[in-house]
Amino acid sequence: MGGFTPDNLVKAKEIIGLYPKARSALIPLCHLAQSQDGWLTPEAIVEIADLLDLAPAEVKGTASFYDMLHTEPVGRYLVGVCTNIACMLGGAYELLEHCEDRLGIRCGQTTKDGKFTLEETECMAGCDGPPCVTVNYRYFLGLDNQGIDQLVDDLEAGRLDNEIPPHGTVYRNSRNVGLTASPTQEPQAGGKSSQIAQPTPTKRGAK
Amino acid sequence: MTDDDKFLIKIDGADYEASPGELIIEACDKAGVHVPRFCYHPRMKPVGMCRMCLVEVSGPRGMSLQPSCYMPVQPDMEIVTESDKVKKAQDGVLEFLLINHPLDCPVCDKGGECPLQDQTLTYGPGESRFVEAKRHWAKPIALSELILLDRERCIQCARCTRFAEEVAGDPMIDFMARGDSTEVNIFDDNKFTSYFSGNTVQICPVGALTATPYRFASRPWDLEQAESTCVGCATGCRMVIQSSQDKLIRYLGIDSDPVNQSWLCDKGRFGYLANYAESRVVTPQVDHQEVSWKVAVDHVARAIKEALATTGPESIGIIGGSRLPNEDAYAWSKLARSVFGTNNVDAQLGDGLDPEVIVGLPKATIDETCASPLVVLVGPDIKEESPILFLRLKGAIDRGTTRVLEISPNPTSMTKYSAMSLFHRPGEAHLVVNSLVTPGPTKAGSGAGLPVGGVELADIDRARALIEDSPGVVFVLGRASMADSAQIVTQCASKVRENLPGARFLTVVRRANTHGALDCGLSPNLLPGRMTIDDARGYYEGHWGQVAQGPGMSTGEMLARAAAGSMAVLILLGADPVSDFPSRSLAKKALESGALVVSVTSHLDESAKLAGVILPTTTFGEKGGTTTNFEGRVSSLSRKVTGPGQAFDDWTVAVLLAKELGGDLGFSSQQDISEEMERVVPLYSNLKPHIWTSLAQSDGVVIPLYGDRVVPRWFDPIATPGIASLVHHPLRPGTGVDKESDPVRGESLPQVPARVEFSEVSRELSIPTLDAYSLRLMAPKVLYDRGVLTEPLSGVERPGSVLRVNHYDLDRIGAMSGDRVRVVSSAGAHEAQVEVDDSISKGTALVAFNVPRSEGQVLAGDLIGYGELVTDVRLEAL
Amino acid sequence: MSTPKMVTSRLGFEDSFTIDRYVKTGGYQALRKALKMTPEEVCAEVTTSNLLGRGGAGFETGRKWSMLRANPVRYLVVNGDESEPATFKDRMLIERDPHQLVEGTLISAYAIQATQAFIFIRGEFALGLERVLGAVNEAYEYGAIGPDIFGSGFSVDLVVHPGAGAYICGEETALLESLEGKRGYPRIKPPFFPAVIGLYGEPTVVNNVETMSNMPWIISNGGAAFAALGAGRSTGTRLFALSGHVKQPGNYEIEMAKSTFRDLIYNPDLGGGVRRDNKVKAIIPGGASAPWFGPDQLDLHLDQDEVAKAGSMLGSGSVVVMDEETCMVRAAWRIARFFHRESCGQCTPCREGSGWIDKIMRRIEDGYGREEDLDLLMDACDNIAPGVTWPPQQTTICVLGPSIPSSVAWSIRMFRDEYLIHIKEGGCPFS
Ligand SMILES: Cc1cc2nc3c(=O)[nH]c(=O)nc-3n(C[C@H](O)[C@H](O)[C@H](O)COP(=O)(O)O)c2cc1C
Ligand code: SF4
Ligand code: FES
């Protein structure tokens, strides 16, 4: 595990190139890193910081604000059970309990084999089929206890490998048109480089 | 802004005048109406997060609760700070804050000076309505060797994270996670090693951030305090020094508007630890045997008498004095000139700038520099040399009041904030400066010109345009490297003087009172008051009786003469030439040559170890007087605690020696000295006694002082730990705007002999061309060096003495990073560990000056060829 | 229903998300038409339509556009963060008709002369992200995105930006912070009204996915045709996301202001009635942030102003039905817990208050409540939203804070007895 693979580094630079300001690419790059490693490794954080000219603490500080970005390893399958109002009315807590029993872990934990992490989620916008269960953000609506058992069986047997990539890959396609090279330049190694910087605009909180 | 822009607002029913852009909380403060607050800090952009400062404000939709720290005042705005609605909201916030705040005040360092505790006592309920479990975190975690964080106490005000990002530019700490799990933290093992980390402790409104040295050290109510001026470097930050039971316990930054605006660097903030370091000397010694003061002074006096009788006064020399208060420096200068009869006095150790550059150039203050549309930075990484000047300048850049053009051999901490950086070959700054300021076209357009000092002509042209388009300019000058001669900077100054007569200068030197020591005459060619010996000898003879025939020797000359065996007595006045003089071998040889070395010092430094006599002196916090920073600002020092053992003030030592030699300096107290300075030295003639006294609670005065008033400052460091200044000195925008002349400020001073004016240096320097096999040596100073101040900060990370080169140069000699190589310079051959660092320009070898050395490393001082304009080295693989 | 389907017309097709189907069903004609009009004319159509924003605040879209500060750089940001509990209409539009969203966005970008457009899509919408990314790629090749769109001389790029899991990023200024690569902290208004100081400090329009998806219909049929539907300020049709104890939960596009909550719940073509034909105990009319309604308010029309006048909001257009077997304490607690988990943490009252209220509610539901807890809860609510009124006052930066009391305070007001039973009996009577 290092930072980005060479292919992903190219992708990373393409992503940065989509935005007027490099820092905007922070979250997409974190997703890219998770699609590579399954979680946001320290090495990836350092590499993203380098690419965006930020401090690693800033990248981690930002990433850790978001539920989907994991700075600790998670299972291959992140099973989420929504317990928010509509799903709760549809029996979500009972289903969640069953998930805990079936997987032998509590909410927030990962199975010993590293396959499953169980999560209680907030509303996933699947309220028309409560309870809303997601596996790596793929939806399974209206499951009962047997449905969960079947789902776990299928996942364990690899029967859903085509539909559900391992945790970290959210979307499997990417922008592939109108890409421009990343505006960040290769640092000039030791040469007599001179530079003109733009004055940084004031950010939030400006009087 | 004119007075016309002002308008009326109502606060709690009464009318007040306010200015556009002013925040409601600022207007309330000015009106004396206190609004409680936590996240607001006057030196940072508001975030309006804690919601403690809610007040009712009139708006288009009637009165509503608004954060007073965030909202600017508007004409006719009505502000209500006392209504039931306001009180309820504020009480609510306080209650919410306490929900997850531990009740560990009795063991908290902040207890007794904690805004949360104070406000809870004042407004809070007696009993908690909260019966649930509090949030728990591991008790304090170390963010660095100096800073501890107790996340349970944190109230998420973002003061520390904002400081790190916005003020210091070191975003090594940040908020992590979200909601009530939000915590401040570092990334993995990347410690919070900012030079400015201690400020976060001072501004934390609760006890979440604490400093290891102060941990459980005292209670605020046991502390006595006094204002003083930091002597960690020549910036002269104002600070409050606190003690308990005659021991220094803590320093806090004071919100001195023209200087440090409440910030301190860690070296200064924790500097008091040095007073209690093991290396402190407390008894006089002769040949490393403890003796009485009488014996020691006799010993020195005898040697001086003998020298006077045999080898003459020119065989006596005084090195140093820039760590002394002005008064003490004056006493020693007078002693040397009038009693010893020698002009061999030099406050600088060959590591500073030409005295005329420091005292003779038209000056800019820090404020003026920050208000100048363009600042040209020639020389060092100012974050290493003057951390607070770095903060001030960075702040000015962020606010858009100034732009920086940097001229430096390598990228520095300023590079990322600079409008443009020109990286030149070390030792060739003057060529670059010359091509920037001399009129006439460059050859870039023709494509024919060769680079200047390694800088492409196209870049020179762009930089020239920056200067030409700017209505005014301030040059900040300093030594980029101890391996380059100070003459290079002198050349730069003269090129600018010649071509941009309106430009002003700020000269950045390292040791705290260099400027004051020069002003007081501790310089071979200067007498007190910025006058040359030739001009002022007659004048001083009238006051002092005798004044030695001019000019004396510089430190380098004294050391060279000592090394040649023809110095009889060398007095080191709080100076350590072995560490600080650019050539270590010359300094060592000089001190080991047989001259009597007298170290008048507070600490057993490397040079003191070689001294025949050691006279222990008091140091910062133990002595009073005044000090002068690099702006020429005189401010006060406080004697807060008694010096240890038999340590004497430096001026006392001068008086004792004079007496022993049959002379009389004419003073028996520091007060006597300042009175004589006011009477005798024209430069100080406006420093009347009342000004001298008021310095103790002011931001100091820049001399020469025109007029006779010191602006008083309201300050109560305990109530609002070092963060409130009600007096703002308005900046004079566009300093250096008048390129044609140096504007004369105010009335003139009494008739005096000619004051030193920097004069052009016509002699061109001929820097040898770098041959293809050599690298040019860079030896920049760093903040955490081996000086006595940083010694107790043993835990903080500091650069080692590794030789760093670009990978390209290392490849050429066939060595790898981490290898040991042979380094050959004119000063000799040494083995050294080498590391790749591609931020270092090709053709350059860098080793930080005077840093701790470990096995296999080489000290810069071993490589520098003294007396040469630059030092070139060859590397050979082993 | 005879009203036209404006945003759900293609949902009957299996391949509704493909460009082929989209173009076959008239897709991108509206964009071509718009590009032949002047930007001002496009804006005028939208103003005429009186399209109210579908994101929650219900602000007139045309008016929002007209408030945009004049500036060479302008941004359009589409809010597809849909995380409001029980709201699932945008996910459907994103997944099932991504080209409609893209076309609407492009029309709007042209209307406001945006220099760049972004569609911010909730990170958890994996399929939605794939679909919209795919649609953007297709539309780009089709010539609808990028330089010189359809030869009109107008150029704009449209970037799909994934969120990463934080409800608060639905709040428009937090969304902009997030889009700038920062923690999703809402900005303080004033001065940070997006139309004045938005993305990267430039003037920015933020509009909801459904708002955007209405654009092709409005341009094709005219703003007047849109305004002819509905009543008062509530014009056109609207997607209502119906969930909870109804027989047929789902998204229903119906004409605004014409039907009532009762219609929505009981109409056989819509909700189809309450499960087990139970009685309605309470409904949450506009997302978790909205104050609750009792059965006596079911005859209110699905009209923004009428609902507002009755003391709640139509908000995100979601309606949660709770029947007589529902524990009101538990329901309110779960919503409090949601705000606790989702508070960004900037403001003390929201950060600490939400957690405290969550804990007290949980304690009551678990049977350890005290009678004084009810006053305590109301007072804590009052400290977050002084007066606990609707529309709320606030002590916080954004309106997530004053949303916390909506379920807690209103459930206490409506069902105080039920709370007291929990407290007296030491447990939940429903479990
Ligand atoms: C806490 C909070 C969450 C919000 N979440 C969403 C959301 O998920 N989607 C959305 O479109 N608007 C959301 N909004 C409303 C937006 O701030 C904004 O008003 C809306 O995107 C504007 O679009 P419209 O004018 O098209 O409705 C939210 C507001 C708040 C205060
Ligand atoms: S009200 Fe809550 S969510 Fe909104 S800014 Fe404040 S803390 Fe964040
Ligand atoms: S001081 Fe104003 S919100 Fe904190």
Nearest CA among C243, C250, C233 for reference residue C286: C243
What pLDDT score does B771 carry? 87
Measured from the Cα of B25, ligand 3's closest atom is: 2
What pLDDT score does A188 carry? 36
Beta-bridge mates of residue B241? B226, B251
Do the domain assignments include residue A179?
Answer: no
List the single residue in B with minimal CA-CA distance to A196.
Answer: B420
List the single residue in B with minimal CA-CA distance to A201.
Answer: B398
What pLDDT score does B600 carry? 98
- What is the CATH architecture of B356-507? 3-Layer(aba) Sandwich (3.40)
The alpha carbon torsion through C233, C235, C239, C244 (nearest 10 deg) reads 40
Which tokens is A156 given?
């364990």
Measured distance CA(C96)–CA(B744) in Å, rounded: 76
Residues in chain C within 8 Å Cβ distance of A122: 83, 85, 167, 338, 341-342
Residue A187 has pLDDT above 70, yes or no: no
Within chain B, which residue ranges are assigned CATH 3.40.228.10?
356-507
List the single residue in B with minimal CA-CA distance to A191.
Answer: B841
Contact C17, C99 (CB under 8 A): yes
- CA B228 to chain CA centroid, Å, is 14
What pLDDT score does B465 carry? 93
What pLDDT score does B446 carry? 52
Residues with CB under 6 A from ligand 1: C 53-57, 59, 61, 64, 79, 81-84, 168, 170-172, 206-208, 211, 398-400
Confidence of residue A193 (pLDDT cuts 50, 70, 90): very low
* Domain extent at residue A11: 1-73+168-174+195-207
Residues in chain C within 8 Å Cβ distance of A53: none
What pLDDT score does C281 carry? 98
| Residue B83 contacts C, CB cutoff 8 Å | no
Class of domain C237-323: alpha beta
What pLDDT score does A181 carry? 54
| Choice between A130 and B705, residue whose per-residue pLDDT is larger | A130
- Shared domain for A81 and A126, answered yes or no, is yes
**Which amino acid, A3?**
G
Residues in chain A within 8 Å Cβ distance of C283: none
C348-365 and C372-384 are packed helices; what angle lies between their axes, rounded to 10 degrees? 160
* Atom 23 of ligand 1, residue of closest alpha carbon: C207
- Shared domain for A49 and A95, answered yes or no, is no
Q: Produce one character per residue of B649-658: b if its CB has 16 or more CB atoms within 10 Å, e if not.
A: bbbbbbbbbb
Q: Is the CB of B505 under 6 A from ligand 3?
A: no
CATH code of the domain covering residue A87: 3.40.30.10
Q: What is the pLDDT of residues C49-96, one digit of tens each?
A: 999 999 999 999 999 999 999 999 999 999 999 999 999 999 999 999
Do the domain assignments include residue A204?
Answer: yes
Q: Structure pTM?
A: 0.94
What pLDDT score does B731 carry? 44
The complex scores an ipTM of: 0.94
Eight-class DSSP state of B712: B
Class of domain B285-352+514-687+733-748: alpha beta
Whether A196 sits inside 8 A of B419 (CB atoms) is yes
- Shared domain for A108 and A68, answered yes or no, is no
What pLDDT score does C316 carry? 95
Measured distance CA(B741)–CA(B758) in Å, rounded: 14
What pLDDT score does B257 carry? 87
Q: Tell which one of B50, B55, B94, B203 to mutate to probe ligand 3, the residue whose CB is within 8 A of the most ligand atoms.
A: B50
Residues in chain C within 8 Å Cβ distance of A126: 88, 91
Within chain B, which residue ranges are assigned CATH 2.40.40.20?
774-877
Residue A183 has pLDDT above 50, yes or no: no
Do the domain assignments include residue A187?
Answer: no
CATH code of the domain covering residue A27: 1.10.10.1590
Whether B180 sits inside 8 A of C384 (CB atoms) is no
What is the average per-residue pLDDT within C361-369? 98
Residue B209 CA, ligand 2 centroid: distance in Å: 24
| Choice between A75 and A183, residue whose per-residue pLDDT is larger | A75
Measured distance CA(B602)–CA(B624) in Å, rounded: 15
Q: What is the pLDDT of residues C151-187, one digit of tens each?
A: 999 999 999 999 999 999 999 999 999 999 999 999 9
Q: How many domains does chain A have?
A: 2
Q: Is C312 left (phi over 0), alpha (psi -120 to 50) or beta?
A: beta
**Which amino acid, C37?**
M
Residue A196 has pLDDT above 50, yes or no: no
What pLDDT score does B114 carry? 87
Residue C353 CA, ligand 3 centroid: distance in Å: 17
Contact B475, B496 (CB under 8 A): yes
SS3 B125: coil
Measured distance CA(A57)–CA(B36) in Å, rounded: 31
What pLDDT score does B696 carry? 83
Measured distance CA(B785)–CA(B763) in Å, rounded: 34
* Atom 22 of ligand 1, residue of closest alpha carbon: C207
Do the domain assignments include residue A183?
Answer: no
Whether C395 sits inside 8 A of B85 (CB atoms) is no
Domain B3-82 has CATH 3.10.20.740: yes
Domain C19-227 has CATH 3.40.50.11540: yes
Name the residue ranges covered by the structural domains of chain C. Answer: 19-227, 237-323, 328-425
Q: Is the CB of C283 under 6 A from ligand 2?
A: no
Residue B203 CA, ligand 3 centroid: distance in Å: 14
Do the domain assignments include residue A182?
Answer: no
What is the average per-residue pLDDT within C17-21? 98
**Which amino acid, B278?**
E
Do the domain assignments include residue A16?
Answer: yes
Do the domain assignments include residue A125?
Answer: yes
- Shared domain for A65 and A88, answered yes or no, is no
Q: Pairing relation of β-strands A77-82 and A132-135? A: antiparallel
Sheet with B209-211, side-by-side order of all strands: B141-142, B147-149, B209-211
What pLDDT score does A203 carry? 34
- Shared domain for A142 and A82, answered yes or no, is yes
Nearest CB among C126, C160, C250 relative to A175 is that of C160
Measured distance CA(B109)–CA(A98) in Å, rounded: 49
Q: Tell which one of C169, C206, C233 to mutate to probe ligand 1, the residue whose CB is within 8 A of the most ligand atoms.
A: C206
> From 3.40.630.40, 1.10.10.10, 2.40.40.20, 3.40.50.10490, which CATH number describes the B774-877 domain?
2.40.40.20
Q: What is the pLDDT of residues C186-203, one digit of tens each?
A: 999 999 999 999 999 999
Neighboring chains of A (3 or more beta-carbon pairs < 8 A): B, C
Within chain B, which residue ranges are assigned CATH 3.10.20.740?
3-82
Q: What is the mean pLDDT of chain C?
A: 97
Domain C328-425 has CATH 1.20.140.10: no
Within chain B, which residue ranges are assigned CATH 3.40.50.740?
285-352+514-687+733-748
Residue A1 has pLDDT above 80, yes or no: no
Q: What is the pLDDT of residues C379-389, one digit of tens each?
A: 999 999 999 99
* Atom 6 of ligand 1, residue of closest alpha carbon: C170
Consecutive 10-residue averages of pLDDT for chain B (878 residues): 79 96 93 92 94 96 95 97 96 95 91 87 82 92 96 97 97 98 96 96 94 92 91 95 95 90 94 94 97 98 98 97 97 98 97 95 92 94 97 96 96 97 95 91 62 93 93 94 96 93 92 96 96 93 92 96 97 97 96 97 97 98 97 95 97 98 95 95 87 84 77 50 45 42 43 75 82 93 85 73 93 92 94 93 94 86 92 93
Measured distance CA(B459)–CA(C158) in Å, rounded: 37
Counting ligands in written order, which one lies closest to the CA of residue B44?
3
| Residue C182 contacts B, CB cutoff 8 Å | no
Number of residues assigned to chain A: 207
What is the average per-residue pLDDT within C31-59? 97
